[in-house]
Amino acid sequence: MAVKWCLAPIDFICYHCALLSSEERIFMELEMEAKKLIDKLELEHKLDKDEWISLLDSCSDEVREYAAEKARAVAQSVYGNDVFIRGIVEFSNVCKNDCYYCGIRAGNCNLERYKLTEEDILQCCKAGYRYGFRTFVLQSGEDLSYTTEDICRIVSRIKSEFPDCAVTLSIGEKSREDYAAYKEAGADRYLLRHETANKAHYEKLHPDEMSWDNRMRCLRDLKELGFQTGCGIMVGSPYQTTECIADDMIFMSEFKPEMIGIGPFLPHKDTPFKDEPKGSYEMTLFLLSLCRLMLPHVLLPATTALGTIRPDGREQGVMSGANVIMPNLSPTEVRDKYMLYDNKICTGDASDKCHDCVEARMKLIGYRVVVDRGDYRV
Ligand code: SAM
Ligand code: FES
């Protein structure tokens, strides 16, 4: 239901409002309440749990656009019209874990596995550097065949060949000692989505061998070791409730990550969650805006999953407050094997095409892809 906003003074019943049904009046009041909460979030950067639940439950088009407009302005005040790009190298789809949602889980026997060599990874970065990337994200399943020494050597080779570039790792849960070694080798950032701040919810998404406490321990270690640290969630993951998302927002407002990865859950045909509905596109955009208002400086990607759920999803993500895009730098031959979910975009394109496509898309909405490491700004 779309109800036009009444601007009449509070003690004056205008002719239009007098004609509204009681249902429409309630809806208008809810929207007004939601806008007040958005104003409060913008000013104070936090809400309590009941306020989060009430705001998240009021995600109408009008409320979402209200939040997006404010989030865009906040992003522009910190990062201007710049969009940072990160070249993502998905260097192995081997994973020891069995997350129920993930297409590269160990239990998926229909997937051909691959691992890139050190030289392959360096070649991807070399090509990426030519296109203007100044951050390389090395992502993989939890593949134990790459030792700590292997990862450290790869990181330090990238850092010495491209000293003006940042390296982000996204290789899962490790010991504090391993994280310290990666930092020592020169890694700048680490992405590890917490997936959900609600332990009971976490246990519905993962088998018993996986532990929410350990994931949270990893995030604390990464922060303490000085990484620019990224956490995040899938929107609409199975069993997620409004309360779970409220917990996520409160966790993030306290943890203060430098990066937040938020994208819709999308089912994969070879997982236990194959028949679950996908996450909401609108709620993903709304959450991007709310994250920007909560943590104005955060590095916030418009994710590939958002571009998969809607053709212009990444553009709309930026219009909702995101400021990072992560085009694929993996060799074309392996891209369709890093299928976290069905129909993932950009699996057939060469790296230069992905870069040019993102640049053109951003230009169309008045944003500029910059040649920059794109560090967190304090
Ligand atoms: N292994 C590393 C880790 O666990 O952090 C990095 C790779 S993991 C595949 C990267 C992220 O993909 C996960 O944190 C998860 O949020 C997301 N992901 C996995 N399956 C997904 C799905 N079906 N839909 C949307 N996102 C998904
Ligand atoms: Fe590999 Fe989840 S399936 S980390």
- For residue range 228-267, list pLDDT tens digits in order: 999 999 999 999 999 999 999 999 999 999 999 999 999 9
User: Does 133 map to a domain?
Assistant: yes
pLDDT (tens digit per residue) in 71-89: 999 999 999 999 999 999 9
Q: Is 172 in the pocket of ligand 1 (CB under 6 A)?
A: yes
91 — pLDDT class (breaks 50, 70, 90): very high
Nearest protein Cα to ligand 1, atom 20: 102
Question: Is residue 15 domain-resident?
Answer: no
The C-alpha atoms of residue 70 and residue 321 are separated, in whole angstroms, by 8
Which of 137, 234, 338 to probe ligand 1 with, by most ligand atoms within 8 A of CB? 234
Tell whether 263 is covered by a domain. yes
How far does the centroid of ligand 1 lie from the alpha carbon of residue 102, in Å? 6
Q: pLDDT grade, residue 2 (50/70/90)?
A: very low
The token pair at 317 is 């993500």
Q: What's residue 18's pLDDT?
A: 74
Q: How confident is the model at residue 300 (pLDDT cuts 50, 70, 90)?
A: very high
Ligand nearest to the CA of 172: 1
16 domain residue, yes or no? no
Q: If 0-12 CB within 10 Å is exposed, 13-18 middle and 19+ buried, where does residue 330 land?
A: buried
Cβ of 142 less than 6 Å from ligand 1: yes
Residue nearest to atom 3 of ligand 2 (CA): 105
Contact 208, 171 (CB under 8 A): no
Domain with 107 in it: what CATH number?
A: 3.20.20.70
Name the amino acid, one letter, at 140: S
Place of tokens 């000085």: 226
**CA of 2 relative to ligand 2 center, distance in Å:** 41
Is residue 102 within 6 Å of ligand 2 at its C-beta? yes
**Among 304, 340, 343, which is best to mutate for testing ligand 1, by the most ligand atoms less than 8 A from CB?**
340
- Please give the pLDDT value at position 120: 98
Is residue 13 included in any domain, yes or no? no
228 within a domain of the structure (yes/no)? yes
Ligand 1, closest atom to CA 232? 16
Q: Is 120 a domain residue? A: yes
| The total number of structural domains that make up the chain | 1
pLDDT over 70 for what percent of the chain? 96
pLDDT over 90, % of the chain: 90
Q: Is residue 25 part of a domain?
A: no
* Least confident stretch, 208-212, 228-232, 334-338, 344-348: 344-348
Which residues span the domain enclosing 341?
76-370
